[in-house]
Structure 1
Amino acid sequence: MKLLFIFLYLIKLIYGTPTPIVLWHGMGDTCCLAVSLGTFKVFLESVIPGVYVNSLRIGNSSIEDLENGYFLNPNKQVQLVCNMLAEDPQLKDGFNAIGFSQGSQFLRAVVQRCGHKIPPVKNLISLGGQHQGVYGLPHCGVLMHPSCDYVRQLLNYAAYEHWVQTSLAQATYWHDPLDEESYQHKSIFLSEINNEVFINTTYIENLNKLEHFVLVKFNNDTIVQPRETEWFGFYEPGQSEKMLTLQESKLYLEDRLGLKKMEKDGKLVFISAEGDHLRFSDKWFIKNIITPYLK
């Protein structure tokens, strides 16, 4: 044990204190269990000796954390996390943030809404995030039983009803390309953070403070529909077949989030992985994420 402390001390002297990392899990996962992000936290701590990792828990237990990923309004979740990050003394000098699936757009909302109130976020890593929303829910995480079918039915037929928006997290980033009007004006989360109707300049300013905004798309994703949303792509409005890239979208052409400027400045990074949703090897993650952005 003494040798381990000496080793860690020498690492700290040579390389300095590593930048802390904040994790936000996705739908059907939890912050801390070994079968979820608990193992990933240990992996990061082993690869980056001395790093502080805060795996966000939304609730008082892992079970409550999992349930809140489905049934707690994302606006409330984001505000809770803003408060948690502001009060964490180990993050005071800034941190890197990694979002898994829906945790990616939730962390982006934290940056946009609270970036001027919390310690600086240096690099935001989005792993399979749904930044232009989803239109389809083929899998529901661990809830593969009748309640999953209930979630699908609500999204297909009543996603923009106010009571669904406020009680089902996935409804808040449901993006129906056949009904853009309802999406833009009735989505209580995604439409708002994407500046679809009104442009909040604070969102643009805070997002552009990032050193890098890294978007990872899983080329064989069978869970996120359409998978292009992981790079801010989506269906052309009015139909559900033709895709528009980010660069072809109104969001980019009108620079409603400052993404055009970020790309010009080299801050917007597009990375693809060949696996299914959130399927990547330790070797891939070290090469593509840890070495260039976290160490």
Structure 2
Amino acid sequence: MAKLTTVLSILATLPLISSSILPIKHKQLPLSDDDDNDTPLPLIIWHGLGDNYAADGLAEIASLAEDVNPGTLTYIIRIDDDASADRSATFFGNLTLQIEKVCADLTAHPILSTAPAVDALGFSQGGQFLRGYIERCNFPPVRSLVTFGSQHNGISEFQKCGSTDFLCRGAQGLLRSSTWSAFVQSRLVPAQYFRDPNQYEQYLEFSNFLADINNEREVKNQTYKENLEKLERFVMYVFEDDETVIPKETSWFAEVNGTDVTLLRDRAIYKEDWLGLKTLDKKGALKFEMTAGGHMSLSDNLLKKVFSDNYGPYGRKLGGSEQSKEDL
């Protein structure tokens, strides 16, 4: 009980939901068509739940990106400069305000803000957060977005927690008991992308984050669609044996209701092009990929392929397979 009380005291100090969500407009520099420029675009990375920006694993990934595309500047997104606080912010915080902070940080960065574009890599929940960044501000603009095991269509269950991970266990208890309360929706990160088809009306009314960035409400945000359509490539990876993200098909924007799986191309969000996903697909920019193993099973060879196919200098022809896969 003492641990839960501590979690609640932390939550009570966090800010409430922002009163309005307005995309940020910036004057963007024109993208250069100079094929002779071999300087790689900067790479921004947003880590997942329970991780922090200073983790050794992320530093190794940044080093690998530089090995594949020499000269790559890698910026790992952080909500707090203190690594412990940055980890806590993956569980507790207001996603609307967190994305606003990231937008401000990247806009103020002396190198990122002057680059013609950046590339982006999202791990787990960091993937849909990067998509929120693109939709809401997109300055500096993102050229290629790659996400691994991200919950683009939400989660219907919270992940399992370690027996001594009290941040995770406290978040899990709140998610189960008070998902749609203003208190939880403004303070518990996974609750803000919780989406159970059996509670769809509550989700549309109360979701602080996902219902908005997925443009599922009646009034659509045209700027979100226009910003996402600017991507040259959007690659979504599903982990074949993912038992952490439920349902795993959310990583491909699929709708799962019980045992029924509706693939993205059969959903209204695609057919009516609420987000520009259909537009991206038609121009060959939308890629559905699957990789073996459980959640966040990442090999150096897989990451090298991602860095080689999707990142590097602006103006280069992006590699990789030409055909999208969308069958489990």
TM-score, normalisation: structure 2? 0.80
Q: Structure 1, unaligned stretches of length 5 or more? A: 1-13
1:215 to 236, 250, 254: 236
Which residue number corresponds to residue 157 of structure 1?
177
Q: Which has the higher contact order (CA 8 A, sep 6+)?
A: 2
Match of 1:69, SS?
coil
Task: Please identify which structure carries the higher helix content.
Answer: 1
Q: Give yes or no for contact 1:216–1:230 (8 Å, CA) kept in 2.
A: yes
Match of 1:70, SS?
coil
- Using the TM superposition, give the Cα deviation of residue 139 of structure 1 relative to its aligned residue in structure 2, in angstroms: 2.3
Which residue number corresponds to residue 172 of structure 1?
192
TM-score, normalisation: structure 1? 0.88
2:253 to 228, 232, 237: 232
Q: Give yes or no for contact 1:29–1:37 (8 Å, CA) kept in 2.
A: no
Match of 1:153, SS?
helix
1:290 to 303, 307, 310: 307
Matches within 5 A, 1:127-276: 127-140=148-161, 144-197=164-217, 198-236=219-257, 240-276=258-294
Q: Give yes or no for contact 2:45–2:121 (8 Å, CA) kept in 1.
A: yes
2:265 aligned partner, one-letter code: Q
Compared CA separation, residues 96 and 147, structure 1 to 2 (3 A)? closer
Identity of aligned residues (%): 36
2:270 aligned partner, one-letter code: Y
Match of 1:26, SS?
coil
- How many angstroms apart in 2 are the aligned matches of 1:175 and 1:162? 16
2:126 to 100, 103, 113: 103
- How many angstroms apart in 1 are the aligned matches of 2:163 and 2:64? 26
Which residue number corresponds to residue 6 of structure 1?
none
Q: Is residue 2:50 matched to residue 1:28? A: yes
Match of 1:178, SS?
helix
1:33 aligned partner, one-letter code: A
Q: How big is each residue's C-alpha offset from its partner over 1:215-259, in whole Å with a ceiling of 9 and x where there is no partner?
A: 1111111100000000001224xxx33111111222112211111
Q: What is the aligned-residue RMSD (CA, Å)? A: 1.6
The alignment covers a number of residue pairs equal to 274
1:182 aligned partner, one-letter code: Q
- How many angstroms apart in 2 are the aligned matches of 1:144 and 1:230? 28
1:284 aligned partner, one-letter code: L
